[in-house]
């Protein structure tokens, strides 16, 4: 899907990435398999703090479905490497993410990055383009 997702809705509690799962959860069948797949998807979903939602709105930042998937993959990478507070770079956007809570704390674009100094982070992850974008 190429439709952009605006993440600036005041009542938006969390953002789910994609409608399908891959791996063992996707192969499960029956009611318990569906419950496990739903629980796994909910655990892996990124949430956006009120502050981050306001920043996205006031800075008129939109994130496509693909961008959201890339952001989620970058958070997954940070989690695997033990990151706690990560700066995720997605094209010309930067996101500070609390990895354990899977919570996007703030969003910054190139026009609003101030001096370009980020403190109290322990890792930086570049959100790599998907395979389709590389072609």
Does one domain contain both 36 and 54?
Answer: no
User: Does any domain span residue 5?
Assistant: no
Residues 6+ positions from 128 with CB-CB distance below 8 Å: 70, 73, 74
Question: Which pLDDT belongs to residue 12?
Answer: 40
What CA–CA distances, in Å, run from 121 to 25, 88, 117?
Answer: 32, 10, 11
- pTM for the model stands at 0.69
**Residue 26 domain boundaries:** 15-44
Q: How far apart are the first and last CA of the chain?
A: 18
Q: What are phi and psi of 125, to 5 degrees?
A: -130, 130
Domain assignment present for 20:
yes
User: Are 99 and 125 members of one domain?
Assistant: yes
Residue 4 lies in a domain: no
Q: Do 119 and 79 reside in the same domain of the chain?
A: yes
- Residue 25's Cα: distance from chain center in Å? 20
pLDDT tens-digit readout, 28-85: 445 666 776 666 566 668 999 999 999 999 999 999 999 999 999 999 999 999 999 9
């Amino acid at each position: 899907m190429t439709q952009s997702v605006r993440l600036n809705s005041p009542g938006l509690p969390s953002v789910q990435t994609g409608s399908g799962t891959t791996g063992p959860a996707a192969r499960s069948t029956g009611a318990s398999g569906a419950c496990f797949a739903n629980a796994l998807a909910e655990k892996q979903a990124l949430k956006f703090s009120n502050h981050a939602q306001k920043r996205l709105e006031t800075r008129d930042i939109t994130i496509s479905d693909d961008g959201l998937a890339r952001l989620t993959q970058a958070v997954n990478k940070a989690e695997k490497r033990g990151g706690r507070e990560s700066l995720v770079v997605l094209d010309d956007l930067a996101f500070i993410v609390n990895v354990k809570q899977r919570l996007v704390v703030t969003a910054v674009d190139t026009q609003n990055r101030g001096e370009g100094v980020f403190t109290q982070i322990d890792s930086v992850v570049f959100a790599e383009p998907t395979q389709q974008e590389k072609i």
